Amino acid sequence: MLRAGVTCQMAPSTSSQAQSQCRLYTAISTHQIRAQSRPQKLGWAQGLGRRSRRSNVTCAAADIVSSVSDVFQDIVRTAPQSHPGWLAGAAINSAVFTLGYKVLRKGLTPAGVAHSWFLGASIYSAFGAGGYLLVCLYFIFGTLATKVKLEQKQREGIAEARSGQRGPASVWGSGIAGVACALAALATGDYRLWQVGFVASFASKLSDTVSSEIGKAYGQTTYLVTTFQRVPRGTEGAVSAEGTAAGVGAALAFAAVAVAVGQVSVPGAGAVAGAAIVANFFESYLGAVVQGRVPWLTNDLVNMTQISVAAALAIAACAALDLPTP
């Protein structure tokens, strides 16, 4: 068994796959020891959260960044393959979930964490560290957006249930299209267009979450997307200038990060952002026209439809325009 501080000593003839696996386990072991020595850092963030209501969001961000991004600093370097496969995906995802369980519980129910494990393993297996990082960023900023002015939203009756903690249905409402793209890529061995669809699905869901939560927190005037009639904040199918601007910004920022981590090309990022924004407005349209009138059409099913539309639009645009892919 490898221990922290012990480097891999392997014969030069050892296969590159075995060497990568050895470096991976060394990084995981090293980080486990380091994580145990950081109570003061996390305690500071938790204390900050207790001192003021506004700093609750800051505290959550500090916990998430310190527990998730530090794992990546050690682990991502040991996974050079763009498409690592199921073994590496399961191993690294399990390590991240073990080290970051308390952080995950801030935004997920226990059942939600369990379902998220398969989502994370699938994404890492197909799209590597860059794709996995995008999912982590979605979780971080989606969770933080949900907690913005949470007490005000709760008083107005428009806050997410369980203080924003997401269960299995919400997990699949956010990630089923991305997982489908990952499984299709693994099955076919053709990652280029499926990778674009994966990025677009999460860009659209982040855009939806941010626009909804910022609109409920700061929207001065909200309109029904179909008739532009003024309606109360939190109404299904309602949009506001503040929420719309935040959602568009989130989609553009997510696409830019996807370029930075090598998941899409610059032209592909335009297709991703455009598809994400269009699908977000389509979700608002469904909310105004259909949701509430069809008993079985839940919010999670609407979300699944939205992210699937985003993925399909981005894939179709890249294929039709022959846009370059990484």
Segment 257-294, tens digit of pLDDT = 999 999 999 999 999 999 999 999 999 999 888 877 88
Query: Per-residue confidence at 63, pLDDT binned at 50, 70, 90?
Result: low
**What are the φ and ψ backbone dihedral angles of 67, each rounded to 5 degrees?**
-90, -30
- pLDDT for residue 7 is more than 90: no
Quickly list H helices, 189-240.
192-218
What is the three-class DSSP state of 297?
Answer: coil
DSSP secondary structure code for residue 69 in this structure: I
pLDDT at site 84: 87
Q: Name the DSSP letter for residue 77.
A: G
Amino acid identity at 65: V
pLDDT attached to residue 80: 44
Distances (CA, A) of 28 to 4, 75, 169: 8, 6, 31
- State pTM to two decimals: 0.75
Helix (H) or strand (E) holding 222: strand 222-224
For 84-119, how does the pLDDT look when each residue is reduced to its tens digit (9 = 90+)?
889 999 999 999 999 989 888 888 899 999 999 999
The Cα 108–Cα 12 span in angstroms is 44
If you average pLDDT over each of 71-85, 105-119, 308-322, which comes out highest? 308-322
Quote the percentage of the chain above a pLDDT of 70. Answer: 74
